[in-house]
Chain A
Amino acid sequence: MTYRRLILISFILNCFLATATKAISEFGMTRSIPMVLLVMYGLGTLLAFGAMTKKRIEAKSLWIGLMGGFGTAVGMGSNMTAASILPGYQVFPLVNGGTLLLVALAGRLVFRERIGPHGLAGIMAGIAAIILLST
């Protein structure tokens, strides 16, 4: 599958995930979110175990998985805790916009990715859009 197709399908799936999260709060199930996430990651674990091609454990994959697991679970948990303490118009633009900026900076400075003027403008427009949509 080409890069564009992979990104497009991932984008559509993320649209579904983001909309379902909105639906959970619209249905008054905000307090059930930890349980929903527990089932979600549990099913993900089972599916990922079934899809494992190599059964011999690689230490580097374990560490990368730890980084990813920390990122997704602690990120969601902290984001929701912050939103319960501070107003959403402060939390969501800071977290969403800041994350995009940090990852774009890491791509450019750490991984030496080449970003053209259109790409740079697109990232800036994307960060501004995320900040505006989060408020």
Chain B
Amino acid sequence: MGYFYAILALVAFAVLGISYKMSDVLRCDKSQANFFLFLFAEGFMLGWVLIGRPEPITWSSIGFGISLGLAIFLSIVLFRRAIALGRISISWTIINLALIAPVLASVTVWHETPSPRHCLGFALTLAAIVLLGIDMGRAGE
């Protein structure tokens, strides 16, 4: 069952990435596409909360929710604009490299010792950013 959920997550995140490019190809109204994305995400999340038994809402979850809500709103608005000017294959890779931030935070803030794999992943992230930057320059983006 675990693999079913992992594959479902993989497909769902890929659908999200592809939906950005489709909205540009289909010339959708960006502001409406953003509104419906959040509305449906809220609907799915409400269903999850009603079915599951999460902890009751607290001030700290409201605080985190508000700060994350502002960040994700701005991120989605700007990313949808970026997709209209660039390629999804390159843009999606760059955005997902943000995974490096919590790894860096775990070393600097929570004083965890990075594994050799994390060090190699960090080096590859820098290499990927440089290579993608060169490709963007050559494509005139």
Contact = CB atoms under 8 A, between A and B. Distances in A.
Partners in one complex: yes
B6 A82 contact: yes
Given A35-B57, A122-B90, A123-B89, A68 B36 contact: yes
Contact of B1 (A27, A85, A116, A126): A85
B31 A48 contact: yes
Contacts of A52: 31-32, 35
Contact of B103 (A27, A73, A128, A133): A133
Contacts, number: 422
A6 B17 CA distance: 16
B35 A71 contact: no
B37 to A, nearest CB: 4
Interface residues of A, number: 107
Interface in A67-114: 67-79, 81-82, 85-86, 90-91, 94-96, 98-100, 102-104, 106-108, 110-111, 113-114
A88 B13 CA distance: 17
A35 B61 contact: yes
B90 A119 contact: yes
A30 to B, nearest CB: 9
A58 B33 CA distance: 9
A2 B141 CA distance: 8
Contacts of A114: 139
Interface in B1-52: 1-3, 5-6, 8-23, 25-26, 28-29, 31-46, 48-49, 52
A79 B121 CA distance: 21
Interface in B29-88: 29, 31-46, 48-49, 52, 54-58, 60-62, 64-79, 81-82, 85-88
B15 A20 contact: no
Q: Most chain-B Cβ atoms within 10 A of its Cβ — which of A54, A68, A126?
A: A68
Interface of B: 1-3, 5-6, 8-23, 25-26, 28-29, 31-46, 48-49, 52, 54-58, 60-62, 64-79, 81-82, 85-103, 105-106, 110, 115, 117-118, 120-122, 124-125, 127-132, 134-136, 138-139, 141
5 contacts: A3-B141, A23-B105, A75-B16, A82-B3, A129-B124
Please name the 10 residue pairs, one residue from A and one from B, whose CB atoms are nearest each other, closest first: A65-B36, A39-B65, A69-B40, A71-B16, A107-B89, A43-B69, A132-B121, A122-B131, A119-B135, A85-B2
